[in-house]
Structures are given as C-alpha cells and as structure tokens.
Amino acid sequence: MSSLSSRALSSIGPRLLGAVLLPTVLLLGACKAPPMDEQDAAGAHAQKAAEEAAAPADATAGKATEAPPVGNCDAEQVQSLVGQAYTDELGGQAQQDAGAKELRVLKPTDMTTMEFVGERLNIEVDEKGVVSGVRCG
C-alpha cells in the first residue's frame, strides 16, 4: 500500500504544484507598479488634497493672516515731544496733532498688549514722567 500511495502522491504532486503555482504567478504579475501617468495623477491628487486641507475653512478664518489696517496715526508729527515732561494737556494735543483716535501712555512698569491699533498713539514716558518715545500702534 505504501508503494501505491507514493505513486499516487507523485502523480498528484505536479498537478497540485501547478494548481498552486499558476495562480501565485498570475497574482504576482498583477502587482506590478502602475504606469507613471497613474503615479503622477495620484501625486497631483494628493498634493491638491493637502493644499485644500491647509486652506482656511471659511472666509473669516483667512482674515487672521492679513496685515492689520494702518490707520491714520502719524507719530512723525509729534516726535518733538521726546524729552518733555508729560502732562494730560500735552497728550491731548499730541493725539490731535498725530491724527490718532486713541491715546495710550506707557510707563516703564506698565504691562502692554501686543495688538496693533493703527489709529492709536503710544507715548512712552520714563520713571520721571518725561516722554522717551512716541509711536503709533
């Protein structure tokens, strides 16, 4: 019986090998790289998707990257104040001369915000109350 079963296996072996090998070879042949045109199209599609994902979701979100408005303040008109003792009257006149809608007096120990307001005049004073700088923003 062992000689019969070994003969049967030897005759089945090539058939079994062919039945397994042929589909494997066909599947591997189908796994080749896509043509370059398809790769280029896929790359372009991926690039477009990445750009859309990086774009702002709506029109108001895009405004955050725009420069702030410049405003009407002109600090060049009041640079002569540097070195003078600050008074409220001096500040009011400087605001008017600079064409500013707002006035901010900054002392050495004052905390300040960093937002830019183009219609605001900033008068910097030292610890003795003397004007040390004038700028808009």
Q: Where are the domains of the chain?
A: 2-65, 75-136
**100 neighbors 120 (Cβ within 8 angstroms):** yes
User: Is pLDDT above 90 for 119?
Assistant: yes
Query: What is the DSSP secondary structure assignment for residue 131, as one 8-state letter?
Result: E
Q: Which CATH topology does 75-136 take?
A: Trypsin Inhibitor V; Chain A (3.30.10)
CA distance 56 to 74: 34
54 pLDDT above the threshold of 60: yes
pTM of the model: 0.50
pLDDT, tens only, 4-17: 555 555 555 566 65
In 3-state terms, the chain is what percent helix, strand and coil (to 5)? 55, 15, 35
Question: Mean pLDDT for the chain?
Answer: 78
| Distance (Å, whole) CA 75 – CA 33 | 66
- What whole-number distance in Å separates Cα of residue 40 and Cα of residue 42? 5
Supply the DSSP symbol for 75. G
- The band of 81, judged by pLDDT with boundaries at 50, 70 and 90, is very high
**CA-based torsion, 99, 101, 106, 112: positive or negative:** negative
Q: What does the pLDDT look like over 40-49, one tens digit per residue?
A: 666 676 677 7
